[in-house]
Chains A and B, each alone.
Chain A
Amino acid sequence: MVVATSSIGQRRYSPASANTIAMAHLLQRVAEERDREAFEELYGSFAPRVKAYMIRQGADPTTAEELAQETLMTVWRKAGLYSDTKGSATTWIFTIARNLRIDRLRREVPWQALPEGRDEEAADDQAPDEAVAERQRRHRVHEVLSELPSDQHQVVVLSYIEGLSHSEIAERLELPLGTVKSRMRLAYQKIRESVEDLK
Chain B
Amino acid sequence: MKINHHPDASTLMSYAAGSLPEVLSAVVAAHIEVCPRCAAEVAEMERIGASLFERIEAVPMLEPALGANEKSSTQELAQLLDTRFAAEDPDESVLTRLLGRELSDVHWKRLGFGIWHHPIQLSPGTQGDLRLIKVAPGQVMPEHGHGGSELTLVLEGAYSDETGCYRTGDVSDLGDDVEHRPISDPSEGCICLIASEQKARFKDVVARIFQPLTGL
Contact = CB atoms under 8 A, between A and B. Distances in A.
A53 interface: yes
B62 A178 contact: no
A48 interface: yes
Interface string B1-41: 00000001111011001111110011001101100000110
Interface stretch (B50-58, B134-142, B152-160): B50-58
Contacts of A182: 10
A191 to B, nearest CB: 6
A64 B61 CA distance: 9
Interface residues of B, number: 65
Contacts of B40: 122
Contacts of A98: 17-18, 49
A188 B45 contact: yes
A89 B142 CA distance: 45
B63 A102 contact: no
Nearest to A183: B10
Interface in A154-169: 156-157, 159-167
B19 A111 contact: no
Main secondary structure on B side of the interface with A: helix
Interface string A49-60: 101110110000
9 contacts: A39-B66, A48-B61, A94-B46, A107-B123, A107-B124, A109-B122, A122-B43, A145-B52, A159-B17
A5 interface: no
A20 B50 CA distance: 11
A8 to B, nearest CB: 11
A191 B48 contact: yes
A23 to B, nearest CB: 10
B65 interface: yes
Interface of B: 8-11, 13-14, 17-22, 25-26, 29-30, 32-33, 39-40, 43-63, 65-68, 74, 77-78, 81, 84-85, 88, 90, 94, 97-98, 122-124, 126, 148-149, 175-176, 197
A106 B47 contact: no
A142 interface: yes
A185 interface: yes
Contacts of A142: 51
Given A90-B54, A178-B176, 4 more contacts: A87-B43, A165-B197, A177-B149, A184-B9
B34 to A, nearest CB: 12
Contacts of A160: 17-19, 48-49, 52-53
